[in-house]
Amino acid sequence: MPKKHAPSAQHAEPSVKLSSRGVARLQARHPWVYRSDVIEEKETSPGSVVRVLDQRGKFLGTALYSSSSQIAIRMVSHGSVADLPALVAERLRAAIAYRTQNNLVTNTDAYRIVFSEADFLPGLIVDRYSDVVTVQILTQAMDAAPVRAAIIECLREELQPAGIVERVDGRIRELEHLPPRSSGPIWGDRSSTVINMNGVRCHYDGLEGQKTGAFLDQRENYAAAAQYAHGEALDAFCYQGGFALHLALCSPPDPPAKCSSVTGVDSSRPALEMAEKNAALNGRELEWIEANAFDLLREYSAANRRYDTIILDPPPFAKTKRDLEKALAGYKELNLRAIKMLRPGGILVTCSCSFHVSAADFLKVVADAAQDAHKSLRLIEHRGAAKDHPVLLNVPETRYLQCLILCVSD
Ligand code: SAH
């Protein structure tokens, strides 16, 4: 590990020199510099902690180096870093304090504790699901054994969980040239539990499911949607029933906003089986349909089916910039069908979790859909991810989720 300011010729520390474009990115307080902006490397190795220099050799700070990613360095400090595991533990405590001190987590025992760059811990995601904590490691530097040990020790001390589970993203490990690993417990003996979000109970299995098991970023949007939802409701792309269950269970105490029926649609059978179990856990039976939501919406709209509330929360259509046009066409089609099927006064909750689709793009695509459907939409709320998923203003990638709540009129 590099000592504080010890640039001796014999003990050359890993360092990288950046082009002026790379320096400009850091000055704009974006932590990533691409490989094309690294003009010189010394002593770097996979995951090393590197001193970052400008073209003239001026010290700019410390970064985590990746030997394989296009993102060659991710800044972790504008000063020197003598001990990365200690820094990671300190930042982890700071992430917990940020959420507590600002009262960001209310009405839930499931929330994100560390969101990578947005908590100044590039490549680390930590979620809490009641007494089970999940860890996802996405960069070479975070995968180093001493860093892993520091993460586990700090989480045990701060949160006293019954179990810590690692969720492995195999594709990312491959991209980062990290040896394959499988998901599984890394501490303790508990990997599944029951969580409570906004008074709705859900099963959580740390070894199954998508992302880290649930879509915690939508948690506050579930409650917001339930506030306006009424009548017959359709939750397309329902996964394990996050929106559907809230619509059925969390209507505000004063009618008229209340759902008479809620149907969830998803193409994943395991997700629907979990959704059904979740409904039973809350003493409800809802309708779950296994189908391609595009086909189902097309079929229902051709058959003149009508709803009072529709939720659209599809998977990210634009994983890269190149997919943007196709993604916008996908959002347009879905939103057009939903708008046509909504009764006057109906509520559309429509989401995009593609970072490459900006807020402006998404608003435009929904507006275009309204125009094609010959309807007017009023925007009740323009929401993002729950507050435990911080948005770092200078890092647009952290503002990836759009959730519009709209009311339809003829
Ligand atoms: N609203 C959910 C998250 C949805 S994630 C929540 O808050 O928990 C996107 C979901 O879309 C996944 O469950 C995935 O299985 C499903 N999906 C992907 N393609 C689909 C398609 N063509 N038709 C229906 N569901 C689809």
Q: What is the pLDDT of residues 73-110, one digit of tens each?
A: 999 999 999 999 999 999 999 999 999 999 999 999 99
Q: Which among 250, 351, 353, 403 is annotated as catalytic?
A: 353
The answer to whether residue 327 is domain-embedded is yes
pLDDT at 1: 43
The answer to whether residue 6 is domain-embedded is no
> Which structural domain range is residue 17 located in?
13-77
Query: Tokens representing 8?
Result: 């001796």
Contacts 24+ apart (CB under 8 A), 120-125: 120/76, 120/91, 120/94, 121/76, 121/88, 121/91, 121/92, 121/95, 122/31, 122/64, 122/74, 122/75, 122/76, 123/64, 123/74, 124/88, 124/151, 125/212
The answer to whether residue 205 is domain-embedded is no
**What is the position in ligand 1's atom list of the atom closest to the CA of 235?**
1
The answer to whether residue 206 is domain-embedded is no
312 Cα to the center of ligand 1, angstroms: 9
pLDDT at 82: 95
Domain check: are 62 and 151 in the same one?
Answer: no
269 Cα to the center of ligand 1, angstroms: 11
Q: How large is the average pLDDT for residues 359-386?
A: 98
Domain check: are 57 and 111 in the same one?
Answer: no
**What is the position in ligand 1's atom list of the atom closest to the CA of 292?**
23
Domain check: are 177 and 321 in the same one?
Answer: no
Domain check: are 304 and 375 in the same one?
Answer: yes
Query: Tokens representing 232?
Result: 């017959």
Domain of residue 98, CATH code: 3.30.750.80
Domain check: are 335 and 379 in the same one?
Answer: yes
Q: Is 277 helix (H, G, I), strand (E, B) or coil?
A: helix
Q: How large is the average pLDDT for residues 343-361?
A: 96
Pocket test for ligand 1, best of 262, 266, 288 (most atoms within 8 A of CB): 266
Between 158 and 318, the more confident residue is: 158
70 has pLDDT over 80: yes
C-alpha 390, offset from chain centre: 10
Please state the domain count of the chain.
Answer: 3
Domain check: are 91 and 176 in the same one?
Answer: yes
The answer to whether residue 101 is domain-embedded is yes
Domain check: are 116 and 250 in the same one?
Answer: no
For 115-172, the pLDDT digits (tens) are 999 999 999 999 999 999 999 999 999 999 999 999 999 999 999 999 999 999 999 9
The answer to whether residue 335 is domain-embedded is yes
Domain check: are 367 and 283 in the same one?
Answer: yes
| Strands 342-352 and 307-312, bridge-based pairing | parallel
**202 carries an active-site annotation:** no
**What is the position in ligand 1's atom list of the atom closest to the CA of 311?**
1
348 Cα to the center of ligand 1, angstroms: 17
2 has pLDDT over 60: no
Domain of residue 30, CATH code: 2.30.130.10
Angle between helices 293-302 and 324-341 (to 10 degrees): 40
Half-sphere exposure for 161 (CA within 13 Å, toward CB) = 29
Q: Taking a C-beta distance cutoff of 8 angstroms, is the pair 134, 144 a contact?
A: no
Domain check: are 53 and 148 in the same one?
Answer: no
Domain of residue 230, CATH code: 3.40.50.150
Domain check: are 308 and 388 in the same one?
Answer: yes
Residues in the chain: 410
11 has pLDDT over 80: no
**What is the position in ligand 1's atom list of the atom closest to the CA of 351?**
1
- Of 45, 77, 109, which residue sits at a domain end? 77
pLDDT category at 211 given cuts 50, 70, 90 is: low
pLDDT at 210: 66
96 Cα to the center of ligand 1, angstroms: 30
Domain check: are 373 and 397 in the same one?
Answer: yes
Pocket test for ligand 1, best of 198, 204, 239, 331 (most atoms within 8 A of CB): 239
2 Cα to the center of ligand 1, angstroms: 45
The answer to whether residue 208 is domain-embedded is no
380 has pLDDT over 80: yes
Give the burial string for 71-82 (b: 16+ CB within 10 Å, else e). bbbbbbeeebbe
Q: Which of 365, 364, 357 is nearest to 384 (CA)?
A: 357
Q: Closest residue (by CA) to atom 12 of ligand 1?
A: 239
Q: Taking a C-beta distance cutoff of 8 angstroms, is the pair 261, 232 a contact?
A: yes
**What CA–CA distance (Å, rounded) separates 122 from 177?**
17
The answer to whether residue 196 is domain-embedded is no
Domain check: are 271 and 314 in the same one?
Answer: yes
